[in-house]
Amino acid sequence: MAVVLGLIIWGATQYFHLGASVPAASTNLSADLSADAWAQGRRTAQNTAFTPSTAPVPRSVKWTFATNKPLGSSPAIVGDRVYLTTGDGRTVALERESGQLVWEFRTGLVSSSTPVVAGDLVIAAYTPGLIVALDRNTGLTRWEVNLNQPISSSPVVANGTLYFGAGDRMLHALDVATGAERWAFLTTDWIVSPVAYADGTVVVASQDSHVYIVDAKSGRQRLMYNTGFQRFGGGPTIEGDTVYISSDRGWVSAIDRLAKNYPGQRKWWRVKINLYVWKVISALPVQPGTLWSRRVGGQIKGLLAVAHDTVYGATEQGQVFARDADTGEKKWSTKLNVGISTGPSVAGNTVLVGTEEGRVFGLDAASGDVLWQYRAGNEKIVGSPVVAGDTMYVASADGTLYAITGGN
């Protein structure tokens, strides 16, 4: 009876996420979601990369901001400022209308992530593992945390917490206002892609093909999902109760965000897989959390974008594709005959991708027809094109940020 009681208590602890309490966030700060703002890497904490702003049909460069080293990511835009990490070790604030430098913060460290703007803070992550929160108006340091572990992706902010993964295999949750660690969740491999947040859950993908859904309040695991992929093409994207994720082997999968692992459930699933292999049972067991999985082909570049009940993606080989968000069925696929260097973003009814030779393509979100293309320099575009208001911002490996408009 004692053993049975112990198992019941252990099972309840695991399923209902019981355990030691963790500190609550000291504020409810989140990134700005105004229509004319793009306050973090994929704009929303869900990584949808969608803005209701209409993409301009590009005709002219409004301004440029040139640096001495290749850029590694897209900018963030909030209010009258543009915020950017540079390859020459700076985080800078630029005037939105002119591109003139307002302030700069120098570390000398490389960054490949987009700053996140929350309230009066600009938070930047540097590749060697430094996280710095700067005053949005002055660029002065408010707090900093040095993990001494590689950080390869942009952090996200939601409800007072900064979420990001690192080379220590940890999903970290820091208090936005202070930098204090709320909790850390250990995965089984490096985390090199952005994490996603939605309605009290955080989703993270590690490089050994596992996706974890974690309770944002407690930092405890709700679901572990094995995609079977060797590596991910990008991190998770969330829309509603569904998590979408891609692999560099050309697969797109949809996972139920609300699914949970019951104690012992995954072990029993593995047993059933073996029974299926040995033809003891006839039906292939479905992994808990599975909604659908579809092969697109090619090496999917960056994260997926979700808008208009559709999942959008792009492959390095030049294919831009759209899949039905509920079923995964093909809507359209367009071959650009050029290497694609970014994941897609969606501005209004236009899908945007950057290419290896410096062009941005705009495609009709409903049909996949190419609406326009525009050259921004002669080197590859880094980070998805960003639209805020009437301007498109494009970061290039030539070290230049281009602000592009539809005006003359």
Dist CA 13 CA 132 (whole Å): 36
Nearest to 200 by CA among 51, 34, 46, 39: 46
Task: Give the pLDDT score at 282.
Answer: 65
Chain mean pLDDT for the chain: 91
Tell me which fold the domain 23-405 belongs to: Methylamine Dehydrogenase; Chain H (2.130.10)
Residues 6+ apart with CB under 8 A from 270: none
Q: Which letter does DSSP use for residue 72 in this model? A: -
For the chain, percent of residues with pLDDT exceeding 70 = 89
**Are β-strands 60-66 and 121-125 bridged in parallel, bridged antiparallel, or unpaired?**
unpaired
Q: Is the pLDDT of residue 343 over 60?
A: yes
Asked whether the predicted pLDDT for residue 334 surpasses 90, the reply is yes
Query: What's the mean pLDDT in 217-229?
Result: 90
Q: Kindly state the DSSP code that residue 179 receives in the 8-state scheme.
A: -
Q: Does the pLDDT at position 185 exceed 90?
A: yes
Choice among 17-21, 128-132, 178-182 with the minimum mean pLDDT: 17-21
Q: Give the Cα separation of 26 and 41 in Å (integer).
A: 23
Closest CA to 293 of 232, 227, 195, 239: 227
What value does the mean pLDDT take over residues 23-46?
A: 96
3-class secondary-structure state, position 265: helix
Asked if 254 and 293 count as a contact pair (C-beta separation under 8 A), the reply is yes
pLDDT at residue 10 above 50? no
Total length of the chain:
408
- pLDDT of 184 > 50? The answer is yes
pLDDT above 80 for 41: yes
Which contiguous run of DSSP H or E holds residue 165? Answer: strand 161-165
Q: What is the mean pLDDT of residues 310-323?
A: 97
Residues in Cβ contact with 72 at an 8 Å cutoff, skipping those fewer than 6 apart: 85, 87, 110, 111, 112, 113, 382, 383, 395
When pLDDT is averaged across residues 76-91 and rounded to a whole number, the result is 97
Say how far apart CA 356 and CA 337 lie, in whole Å.
Answer: 11
Domain spans of the chain, in order of start: 23-405
Confidence of residue 284 (pLDDT cuts 50, 70, 90): low
| pTM of the entire predicted model | 0.92
What's residue 407's pLDDT?
72
Percentages helix, strand, coil for the chain (3-state, rounded to 5) are 5, 40, 50
Q: Give the pLDDT confidence score for residue 125 in this predicted structure.
A: 97
3-state class (DSSP) for residue 266? helix
At 109, phi and psi to the nearest 5?
-100, 145
Instruction: Specify the amino acid at residue 369.
Output: D
Q: Are strands 345-347 and 50-51 parallel, antiparallel or unpaired?
A: parallel
**C-alpha–C-alpha distance, residues 199 and 96, integer Å:** 32
**pLDDT over 90 percentage in the chain:** 82
When pLDDT is cut at 50, 70 and 90, the band that residue 345 belongs to is very high
Query: What pLDDT does 288 receive?
Result: 86
Q: What number is the average pLDDT over the span 156-178?
A: 97
From 104-108, 125-129, 284-288, the region with the lowest mean pLDDT = 284-288
pLDDT at 408: 66
Q: What is the pLDDT of residues 107-164, one digit of tens each?
A: 999 999 999 999 999 999 999 999 999 999 999 999 999 999 999 999 999 999 999 9
> Given this model, what pLDDT does residue 281 score?
74
Question: In 68-213, which ranges are continuous DSSP H helix?
Answer: none
**pLDDT > 90? residue 94:** yes
User: Average pLDDT, stretch 12-20?
Assistant: 51
CA–CA separation, 311 vs 315, rounded Å?
14
Region 375-396 average pLDDT = 96
**From the CB of residue 139, how many other CB atoms can be counted at a distance below 10 Å?**
18
- pLDDT tops 50 at residue 9: no
Write the pLDDT tens digit of every residue in 247-277.
Answer: 878 899 999 999 998 777 666 556 666 766 7
Q: At a CB cut-off of 8 Å and minimum separation 6, what does 228 contact?
A: 209
The pLDDT assigned to 244 comes to 97
Q: Which amino acid is at 304?
A: L
Residue 104 dihedral angles phi and psi, to the nearest 5°:
-140, 150
